[in-house]
């Protein structure tokens, strides 16, 4: 039976930078290598059994005479490993049993995901068969779930199985105080190397994490948040007020010049692969030093990005009661395009747009706020925040020009206002017009729909509930700048012509 978080408790992680000695660092790397070895050995065994049974099946061997199948669950893999470890890994006693269990757990989850994806029981993109973990191409990590896992009383040491007591760079008082008060319990600890230093992340369940209502809050309880590449967040209220605009930090773009210089240097040095002969080779010390510098830059970029996201999301949940965000398909936004879309894909990845909703999800629970997620097909950008008319926009159009002649407005501000009004509607328990045929009530997921066509149709005014399907546009009233009737096929050009008129002042 899976572990259930008790009522009134919540899951949280505490991460501390470790300062191990040279002996302790060798022991940590040994544990990471043991986890990798167990994963690769059992994966090879699973593949061998699958291939053998497939060959026997092609030869017409009866099922009762075929090679016995190998279980893919963690318990089955661990049982098989325990029978074979004395032969394949006579040095296994030098490391904690949790190191081997960590590698087997990753393999079991990978096989389960692959099997569920093949059967169609797993949503998302297709999952491939698990791969072997090379020594120099994977992140060193190991997970401990049993044994001596604790935070010491001096607030500057942590204790892990077999590894012993390790010094930390920063104080562990926040977690230690909760453990001493009996309001927190450690479930597991993961040690990981990010290219600069070792970290220990504790998986903890915390009691009564909810924070009380704060006296000083923003005068706008309901806000809409539009995320983007140029501006990380644009926050607006339902009344049309732009509350905050946070530019994207873009840490990878800032470090791109230095990374490019180091990677070019590494390409001229002796690496692990000889392109002339197509074989492996021992790298030079200079190449290893260059790779260390590259890894440190990537680690610093990740830390800056993580810090900025935590700062902006914490500020949102502490100042507002209801926050509305979009359900963006970030992976789909940066999946295709090749060299033509390389810069945009890099900027999307640099912004880490998908983490914003994840952090708001658990931080709203801690701060007595509520998160409303708009449907992925909610037309927040195409809908005018003044008259609710819809206008097609290209990605290059940064200013929204309404097809009904409303004053120009920033594209991101317009989207944030529409999201805020969606949250205001759901807060009062009403029905929100999402443009997708759905009618969300007072729920945290607005605009999920009920089988409607998720497509944006152009409407001639906001007053006609049925849109184009329920009424015929009055072409005597809808005319363009030259006084000609505005047909349906000419509607997408309205935004471009209106923009030209606003700039030049002439029709």
Specify the DSSP element, H or E, that contains 302.
helix 285-319
Residue 412 falls in the annotated catalytic set:
yes
- Alpha-carbon distance of 472 to 475, in angstroms, equals 9
- Give the 3-state secondary structure of residue 82: helix
What are 392's two structure tokens? 């097609």
Residue of 140, 226, 375, 460 marked catalytic: 226
What are 232's two structure tokens? 């990380």
The answer to whether the CB of 380 falls within 8 A of the CB of 374 is: yes
The answer to whether the CB of 384 falls within 8 A of the CB of 404 is: yes
CA distances from 42 to 30, 81, 82 (A): 18, 7, 11
- Give the 3-state secondary structure of residue 30: helix
- Alpha-carbon distance of 217 to 213, in angstroms, equals 9
Q: Which residues contact 200 (CB under 8 A, 6 or more apart)?
A: 15, 16, 18, 158, 160, 166, 168, 189, 190, 191
239 CB neighbour count, 10 Å cutoff: 11
DSSP 76: H
What are 214's two structure tokens? 């704060």
Residue of 375, 412, 424, 460 marked catalytic: 412
Q: Please, which contacts does 396-402 make with residues 24 or more away whose CB atoms are closer than 8 Å?
A: 397/495, 397/499, 399/499, 401/495, 401/498, 401/499, 401/502, 402/498
The answer to whether the CB of 46 falls within 8 A of the CB of 68 is: no
Exposure of 265 by Cβ count < 10 A (0-12 exposed, 13-18 middle, 19+ buried)? middle
Residue 427 falls in the annotated catalytic set:
no
The answer to whether the CB of 146 falls within 8 A of the CB of 105 is: no
First CA to last CA distance, the chain:
71
Residue of 308, 326, 375, 460 marked catalytic: 326
The answer to whether the CB of 430 falls within 8 A of the CB of 439 is: no
**Which active-site residues does the annotation give?**
226, 326, 412
């Amino acid at each position: 039976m899976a572990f259930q978080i008790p009522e009134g408790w919540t899951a949280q992680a505490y991460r501390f930078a470790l300062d191990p000695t040279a002996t302790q660092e060798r022991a940590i790397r040994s544990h990471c290598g043991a986890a990798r070895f167990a994963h690769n050995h059992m994966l090879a065994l699973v593949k061998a059994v699958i291939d053998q049974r497939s060959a026997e099946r092609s030869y017409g061997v009866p099922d009762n005479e075929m090679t016995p199948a190998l279980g893919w669950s963690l318990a089955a893999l661990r049982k098989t490993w325990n029978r074979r470890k004395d032969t394949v890994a006579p040095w296994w006693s030098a490391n904690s049993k949790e190191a081997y269990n960590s590698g087997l757990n990753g393999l079991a989850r990978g096989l389960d995901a692959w099997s569920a994806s093949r059967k169609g029981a797993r949503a998302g993109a297709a999952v491939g068969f698990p791969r072997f973990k090379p020594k120099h191409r994977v992140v060193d990590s190991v997970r401990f779930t049993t044994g001596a896992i604790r935070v010491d009383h001096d607030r500057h040491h942590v204790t892990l199985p077999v590894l012993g007591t390790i010094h930390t760079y920063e104080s562990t008082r926040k977690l230690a105080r909760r453990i001493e008060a009996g309001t927190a319990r450690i479930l597991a600890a993961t040690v990981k190397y990010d290219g600069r230093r070792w970290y220990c992340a504790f998986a903890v369940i915390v009691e009564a994490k909810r924070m009380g209502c704060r006296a000083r809050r923003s005068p706008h309880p309901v806000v809409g948040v539009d995320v983007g590449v140029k501006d990380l967040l644009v926050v607006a209220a339902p009344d049309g007020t732009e509350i905050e605009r946070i530019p994207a930090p873009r840490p990878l773009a800032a470090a791109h010049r230095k990374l490019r210089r180091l990677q070019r240097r590494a390409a001229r040095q002796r690496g692990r692969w000889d392109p002339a002969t197509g074989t492996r080779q021992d790298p030079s010390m200079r190449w290893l030093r260059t790779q260390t510098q590259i890894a440190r830059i990537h680690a610093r970029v990740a830390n800056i990005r993580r810090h900025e996201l935590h700062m902006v999301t914490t500020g949102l949940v502490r100042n507002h009661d209801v926050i509305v965000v979009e359900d963006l398909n970030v992976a789909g936004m940066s999946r295709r395009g090749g060299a033509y879309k390389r810069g945009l894909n890099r900027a999307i990845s640099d912004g880490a747009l998908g983490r914003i909703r994840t952090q708001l999800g658990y931080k709203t629970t801690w701060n007595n706020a509520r998160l409303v997620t708009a449907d992925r097909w909610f037309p927040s950008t195409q809908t005018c925040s003044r008259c609710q008319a819809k206008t097609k926009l290209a990605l290059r159009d940064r200013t929204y020009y309404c097809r009904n002649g409303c004053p120009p407005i920033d594209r991101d501000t317009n989207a944030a206002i529409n999201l805020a009004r969606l949250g205001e509607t759901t807060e009062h328990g009403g029905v929100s017009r999402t443009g997708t045929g759905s009618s969300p009530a007072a729920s945290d997921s607005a605009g999920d729909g009920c089988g409607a066509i998720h497509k944006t149709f152009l409407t001639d005014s906001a007053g006609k509930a049925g849109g184009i399907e329920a009424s015929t546009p009055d072409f005597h009233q809808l005319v363009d700048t030259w006084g000609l009737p505005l047909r349906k096929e000419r509607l997408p050009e309205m935004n471009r012509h209106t923009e030209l008129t606003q700039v030049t002042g002439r029709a």
